[in-house]
Amino acid sequence: MAPDKPLDSAVLTRLTQFSAMNKLKKMALRVIADNLSQEEIAGLKEMFKAIDTDNSGQITFEELKDGLNRYGANLNESEIHDLMKAADVDDNGTIDYGEFIAAMLHMNKVEKENHLFAAFSYFDKDGSGYITGDELQKACEEFGFRDVLLEEMIREADRDNDGRIDYDEFVAMMTKGNADLGQKRL
């Protein structure tokens, strides 16, 4: 039924990386996750089921804690809480399947051109080739984000400082390593 040790390092590594990402990148990963084929997410579905012990379709803090402990992760409560908060993009207190898939995505899937273009297009509602503050505001509302600093979200990806994000800037944000984001927390 459940995988043994691999869950430990895979879940920890990806959730930790996900926690360091900015909100725009998290939303884009969620858009990509929602558009992946069943074959692309087969192993991740099993991982989700193994952690979601009550089969509710939502991973609670207790389920995440039990799942990580079951697979030998030595994390304290606050570290598990940080991981939970990082993956819970809509801040409803649980990790749903889409949030889990988004957090677990392999970087090579993120870097596939068609996935990136689909995600960019999701945000670029008017097809102008730019993600504007208004478009980002609409996306944040769709994702249930409240109290978002739009200027900061744009600034994190806007390399030429024109107040909007073009496709090249979006791709650079999505494909750059998470290490250079340092200890930044949402």
pTM: 0.65
Backbone φ and ψ of 52, nearest 5°: -80, 75
Residue 182 lies in a domain: no
Q: Residue 112: its pLDDT value, please?
A: 78
Answer yes or no: do 57 and 14 share one domain. Answer: yes
Return per-residue pLDDT of the chain as tens, 186 residues: 444 445 556 677 777 777 767 788 888 888 888 888 888 787 788 889 999 999 999 999 999 999 888 877 777 888 888 888 888 888 899 999 988 888 877 555 666 778 889 999 999 999 999 999 999 999 989 888 877 888 888 998 999 999 999 999 999 998 876 443 333 333
The H or E element containing residue 58 is strand 58-59
Answer yes or no: do 102 and 10 share one domain. Answer: yes
Q: Which domain holds residue 147?
A: 110-177
Which of the listed residues 81, 108, 135 is the one where a domain comes to its end? Answer: 108
Residue 90 lies in a domain: yes
- Going by C-alpha positions, the residue among 161, 162, 132, 170 that lies closest to residue 25 is 170
Answer yes or no: do 45 and 127 share one domain. Answer: no
Answer yes or no: do 93 and 123 share one domain. Answer: no
The CATH number given to whatever domain includes residue 128 is 1.10.238.10
The structural domain count of the chain equals 2
Q: How many CB atoms lie within 10 A of CB 49?
A: 14
Alpha-carbon 173 to chain mean position: 13
Answer yes or no: do 95 and 137 share one domain. Answer: no
Contact between 69 and 81 (Cβ < 8 Å): no
Answer yes or no: do 53 and 104 share one domain. Answer: yes
Can you tell me whether residue 2 is helix, strand or coil?
Answer: coil
Residue 181 DSSP code: G
CA distance linking residue 144 with residue 121, whole number of Å: 19
CA distance linking residue 75 with residue 135, whole number of Å: 38
Answer yes or no: do 57 and 139 share one domain. Answer: no
Q: How does pLDDT run across 158-173, given as a tens digit for each residue?
A: 999 999 999 999 999 9
- Going by C-alpha positions, the residue among 85, 64, 81, 74 that lies closest to residue 19 is 85
Contacts of 177 (CB under 8 A, 6+ apart): none
The two beta strands, 95-96 and 165-166, are: unpaired
Residue 184 lies in a domain: no
